[in-house]
Amino acid sequence: MKEQKLRIPYGSGGLETILPAQARVYTSRIDELPQRGDEDAIVREAMKNPIGSEPLWKLARGKKNAVVIVSDHTRPVPSRHILPFMLEELRRENPEIGITLLVATGCHRGTTPEELEAKLGRDIAQRERIVVHDCEIPESNVDIGVLPSGAHLIVDKAAAEADLLVAEGFIEPHFFAGYSGGRKSVLPGICDRVTVHGNHCAAFIDSPFARTGILEGNPIHRDMEAAARMAGLAYIVNVVIDEEKRVVAAFAGDALEAHAAGCTFLAPYCTLEVEEADIILTSNGGAPLDQNLYQAVKGMTAAEAAAAPGAILILCAECLDGTGGESFYRALAGCASPSALLEEIRKIPMDKTVADQWQYQILARVLEKHRVILVTRPELKETVAAMKMEYAASPGEALERALAAKGKDARIAVIPNGVSVVVKRR
C-alpha cells in the first residue's frame, strides 16, 4: 500500500494531507444520488407531486396570511432554490396573502441582515417581510400545549397566529435527532428556550436511540414530531444536497410524511460501514458547519461511532466564531474531568436543563473515552486545551502525534465529512 493524498473540508476551502499507507478512507455515496435535472427543476418537480398533501397553492387558498419558516445562518440550506417557488405558489391564486419569513434560529444568535442577504438573495431579503426568531423574549412566544415528554411547547407568536405554517429545510444525518429537516423547523427552530431545553434534556441525550441516523425509539425525534403537528406545520419543502451543497433531491408535502420519505431515500447513500479503528480523522464538513467548536461536536460523534476503546479522534474545524457559546466553554474548562461533568449532568431534571448542556454532555461523553485532537486556528490553542482537548496546526501533525501514541501500524479510519454520514461499525 502507498501513502495517499487527501483534501479534508475546512472552512471555505480544505486542508491537504498525506495519509499513512494503512489508512482507510470512508466516504458517503451522496455524489451517486441520481440527479433529475437542474436544482430548480428538482424542487419544482417535488412541489408538483407533494407527498401526503395538497399542493401548496391549494393550501394557500382563502388564507389571510402565511408564515414560511426558513433556516438560519448555521445551516447550508440552498434557500435560493426553494423559497422563490414556495412564494410563487403561495401567491398563485392568492396574490394578497400576507407572507412572513420566520428565521428559525432556535437558540443560536440572531441572523444578521448581511447573512440573510447572502442566504436568501438580495431580492427576497429586501422585498419580503422577515422576522428573526428570538428564543429569549417571552412576549414574542406563546405556550400552545404540552408535548408527550411533559415539556411545554412554546413557539414564536408569528407561527402560532399564522393561517398557514410551512417550512423549507434540508435533510442530513443529525447527531442526536437522527436526521435534520422536517419537524426540526419547529422544534428547536422557532421555540422558546424553555421548550428547546426540555427537548434536549440529559435523559433524552443519554438515550442510546438519540444518535445519528436513528428515528425509531428516539425520544428527541418523538417530541419534535409532536411539536410540528401541534404547531400546525402544514407543508414542507426539504432537499437533499451533495458534497458541493447542490440540490440533488427534493421532498415536498406533509411535514411528517415528506420528511420520512426523504430520510428513507437518503439513508443508503449516507450510511458508512466502518471497520473499528485506533485513530479516526474527520471534519465538520467545512463552512458553515465548522464555524465554531460548538458545532464541531457533530463531527466528533461520527469519529466516536467508528472508534475502538481508547481511540484517538482527530477533527478538523476552522472555528472562525470561536467556541460558539460561553456556557459551552465554561462547562468543559471548569470541570475536574469529563467523567465528573457527565455525572453532574445526568442528575439534572428536564425542567432544570441549562443552555448548551446537551452539547457539552455529548462532548464530555466523547472525551470520557477518547483523546481528541482538534485541528483549528492557532488563536484557539489555549481555548482547546482548556476544554480538555489538544490543539494541532495540521492534520499531518495530528496524525504524527496519534501514531506516536498508538504505534505506526495503528488502524486508521478517515471520514472526510463527519456531519454528512451515518457511521455503523462493521
Q: Are residues 22 and 55 in the same domain?
A: no
Binned average pLDDT, 10 residues per bin, the chain of 426 residues:
88 95 93 80 97 98 98 85 97 98 89 89 94 93 96 97 97 96 97 95 97 97 98 97 88 98 96 97 92 95 97 98 93 98 97 94 98 98 98 98 97 95 93
Identified catalytic residue from 73, 81, 133, 174: 174
The CATH number covering residue 340 comes to 3.90.226.30
Q: Are residues 169 and 205 in the same domain?
A: yes
Q: CA–CA separation, 279 vs 269, rounded Å?
A: 24
Residue 94, SS3 per DSSP: coil
Q: Are residues 255 and 309 in the same domain?
A: no
Q: CA–CA separation, 25 vs 281, rounded Å?
A: 9
Cα three-residue angle 61-63-65, rounded to 5 degrees? 135
Q: Are residues 20 and 43 in the same domain?
A: no
Q: Are residues 103 and 185 in the same domain?
A: yes
174 flagged as catalytic: yes
111, 118 in Cβ contact below 8 A? no
What pLDDT, on a 0 to 100 scale, did the predictor assign at position 325? 85
Q: Are residues 74 and 143 in the same domain?
A: yes
Q: Are residues 164 and 80 in the same domain?
A: yes
Of 218, 241, 269, the one marking the end of a domain is: 269
Domain that holds residue 100: 33-269
Residue 91: alpha-carbon gap to chain centroid? 31
Residue 271, SS3 per DSSP: strand
Instruction: Provide the whole-model pTM.
Output: 0.91
Quick one: cell of 162? 399564522
259 flagged as catalytic: no
Q: Are residues 317 and 393 in the same domain?
A: yes
What pLDDT, on a 0 to 100 scale, did the predictor assign at position 30? 82
Q: Are residues 145 and 260 in the same domain?
A: yes
What pLDDT, on a 0 to 100 scale, did the predictor assign at position 225? 98
410, 278 in Cβ contact below 8 A? yes
Identified catalytic residue from 108, 200, 221, 259: 108
**Omega before residue 395 within 30° of 0, cis:** no
